[in-house]
Amino acid sequence: MTASGRIALPRRATTVKKTYLVALESPLAEGTAELFAKGVQLHNEKDLTKPALLEVITPTEVRLTISEGRYHQVKRMFAAVGNHVVGLHRERIGDILLDESLAPGEYRPLTEAEIASVGAPQPRSKT
């Protein structure tokens, strides 16, 4: 945890799966899930994104799981297929699931298993 309250993750954290609930401006185009599963060409990027899992909830609400951490990746992926993100909520990082009982700004300690799931070093035991 940094002094600003942000979580500082090691480099491996960029390969940890992250799941987002995404609200879209327009209904999802047919074939988007298949395209995301193959990788998407982002504007001004040479390489395709890694395959992503897209679960359709409604025509304008989806759950997206990615395993990269590119700059504004979720918004840029939907822009690449002609849509616009109007709401974005991260639900999970690795095995760390958002605790719905927490109010905005609240936090709870992570378990050792949750810490390990994002590749962070384990706390040293006090012996």
Closest CA to 94 of 14, 39, 32: 14
Q: Which CATH class is domain 13-95?
A: alpha beta
Q: How do residues 62-94 score in pLDDT, each as one tens digit?
A: 999 999 989 999 999 999 999 999 999 999 999
Alpha-carbon span 32 to 102, nearest angstrom = 33
Cα distances (angstroms) measured from residue 44 to each of 37, 40, 66:
20, 12, 19
Task: Encode burial over 86-97: b for 16+ CB neighbours within 10 A, e otherwise.
Answer: eeeeeebbbebe
What sections of 12-60 are H helices per DSSP?
32-38
pLDDT band at 10 (very low <50, low <70, confident <90, very high): low
Residues in Cβ contact with 75 at an 8 Å cutoff, skipping those fewer than 6 apart = 85, 88
| Closest by CA position to 73, among listed 88, 93, 56, 59 | 88
Residues facing 90 on adjacent strands: 20
For the chain, which residues make up each domain, given as ranges? 13-95
Residue 68 makes CB contacts below 8 A (sequence gap 6+) with: 14, 15, 49, 50
The average pLDDT across 47-64 equals 98
Task: State the pLDDT at residue 39.
Answer: 97
